[in-house]
């Protein structure tokens, strides 16, 4: 098993482990053993959100393992996100206090705007609160999710900043190359959410993923996640099962051939697994 996950250096100088555990759709009680098992297997990065309604459960796992404060804290990267309904300056500061308390942390490694809500644009006020939290040392890295190039440009025009990370839906059948190219050109790291299309892309390409996996003696999940790793993308696959968590971290003992990598590139198509950021709000 090769689980020596590299770090990706961000435009603010911080280093994020390239693989993390996503915790969407796991209830608050259920998430505690899931995070404990992942950390036991070597995960150093957890991707959560206020909107997942399980920050208290994540916080319990970190506290139970003694990694939430003290000497071991620096070895972990904990991300959380602001709910859309709490965007704004005062509301963001208030939400962050609650979130930090639930997580039982003194700081988070990354705080993200969860959705751009361009139809109800409050990013400049929210970003002012984000900067304050950063200046106070309570957030190390500022990020956004689901921002399209037009949203990133608007953020930059109105605040002078680009975020360090943009977390977007990204998998073989929905590659969003225009967004990825924009991020690369502007020094913004790309983080793939739903990196396996919630499992749907494991069967992509009429069995192509399965055949590539078989050639390397790995699982379809490992073939897809290895493709992301080779693209330099940060990934946050979610699994509640320890054996799958282990697989999803074991991505560094094999490499796709150039032809295999290109064949997965060629699966790109309009197959969104999640929501359209132009119209969606998670509330
Ligand atoms: N910012 C955003 O708007 C946003 C949106 C979506 C997701 N996210 C983040 O991204 C994370 C990952 O996305 P996701 O949960 O939507 O989808 P995903 O990671 O692409 O897929 C998760 C699904 O695949 C299954 N799975 C995991 N590992 C597997 C393996 N090795 N073999 C076979 N099946 C496997 C899981 O089932 P089991 O759990 O039963 O193993 C689950 O059903 C989320 O948890 C969240 O942190 C963020």
- Distance of CA 223 from the midpoint of ligand 1 (Å): 15
Digit-coded pLDDT (tens) for 61-114: 999 999 999 999 999 999 999 999 999 999 999 999 999 999 999 999 999 999
Is 162 labeled as catalytic in the residue annotation? Answer: no
For residue 282, the model assigns a pLDDT of 84
Whole-model pTM: value is 0.98
Cα–ligand 1 centroid distance for 191 (angstroms): 13
Of 148, 236, 238, 281, the residue with max ligand 1 atoms within 8 A of its CB, to mutate for a pocket test, comes to 238
Alpha-carbon span 111 to 49, nearest angstrom: 9
Q: How, if at all, do strands 15-17 and 234-235 pair? A: unpaired
**Predicted confidence (pLDDT) at residue 239 exceeds the cutoff of 90:** yes
Mean pLDDT computed over 217-240: 98
How far is residue 90's CA from residue 70's CA, in Å, rounded to a whole number? 30
Counting residues of the chain whose pLDDT is more than 70, the rounded percentage is 100
pLDDT tens digits, one per residue of 150-167: 999 999 999 999 999 999
Rounded to the nearest integer, the mean pLDDT of the chain is: 97
Q: Is residue 1, in this structure, part of any structural domain at all?
A: no
Phi, psi of 209 (to 5 degrees): -60, -40
Atom of ligand 1 nearest to the CA of 192: 10
> Annotated binding site for substrate: which residue ranges?
114
pLDDT value of residue 2: 74
Look at residue 2 and tell me if it is in a domain: no
The minimum-distance atom of ligand 1 relative to the CA of 195 is 20
Question: How many domains does the chain fold into?
Answer: 1
270 domain residue, yes or no: no
pLDDT classification of 5: cutoffs 50, 70, 90: very high
Section 113-136 average pLDDT: 98
Task: Tell me which residue range forms the domain holding 26.
Answer: 7-265
Pocket of ligand 1 (CB under 6 A): 22-24, 47, 114, 145-146, 167, 193-199, 202, 219, 221, 236-241, 244, 247-248, 274
Would 276 be classed as within a structural domain? no
Atom of ligand 1 nearest to the CA of 273: 16
Whether 281 is covered by a domain: the verdict is no
Catalytic residue, candidates 52, 107, 111, 162 = 52
The CATH code of the domain that includes 39 is: 3.20.20.100
Q: CA separation (Å) from 81 to 12, 31, 126, 253, 279? A: 18, 17, 12, 32, 19
Query: What is the structure's pLDDT at 283?
Result: 82
Nearest to 140 by CA among 109, 96, 101, 103: 109
**277 falls within a domain:** no
- Distance from Cα 199 to the centre of ligand 1, integer Å: 7
- Has residue 226 been placed in a domain? yes
């Amino acid at each position: 098993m090769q689980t020596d996950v590299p770090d990706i250096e961000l435009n603010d100088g911080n280093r994020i482990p390239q693989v993390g555990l996503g915790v969407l759709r796991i209830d608050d009680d259920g998430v505690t053993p899931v995070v404990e098992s992942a950390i036991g297997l070597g995960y150093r990065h957890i991707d959560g959100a206020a909107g997942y309604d399980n920050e208290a459960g994540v916080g319990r796992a970190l506290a139970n393992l003694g990694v939430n404060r003290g000497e071991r804290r620096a070895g972990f990267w904990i991300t959380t996100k602001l709910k859309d309904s709490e965007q704004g300056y005062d509301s963001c500061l208030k939400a962050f206090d609650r979130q930090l308390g639930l997580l039982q942390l003194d700081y988070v490694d990354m705080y993200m705007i969860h959705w751009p809500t361009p139809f109800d644009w409050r990013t400049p006020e929210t970003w002012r609160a984000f900067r304050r939290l950063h200046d106070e040392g309570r957030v190390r890295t500022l990020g956004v999710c689901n921002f399209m190039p037009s949203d990133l440009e608007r953020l930059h025009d109105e605040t002078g900043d680009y975020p360090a990370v943009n977390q977007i839906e990204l998998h073989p059948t929905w590659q969003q190359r225009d967004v990825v190219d924009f991020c690369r050109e502007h020094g913004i790291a790309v983080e793939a959410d739903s990196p396996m299309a919630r499992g749907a892309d494991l069967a992509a390409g009429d069995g192509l993923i399965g055949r590539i996996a078989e050639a390397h003696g790995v699982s379809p999940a490992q073939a897809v996640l290895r493709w992301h790793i080779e693209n330099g993308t940060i990934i946050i696959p979610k699994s509640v099962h320890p054996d799958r968590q282990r697989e999803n971290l074991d991505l560094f003992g094999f490499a796709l051939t150039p032809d295999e990598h290109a064949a997965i590139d060629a699966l790109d198509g309009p197959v969104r697994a999640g929501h359209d950021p132009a119209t969606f709000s998670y509330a």
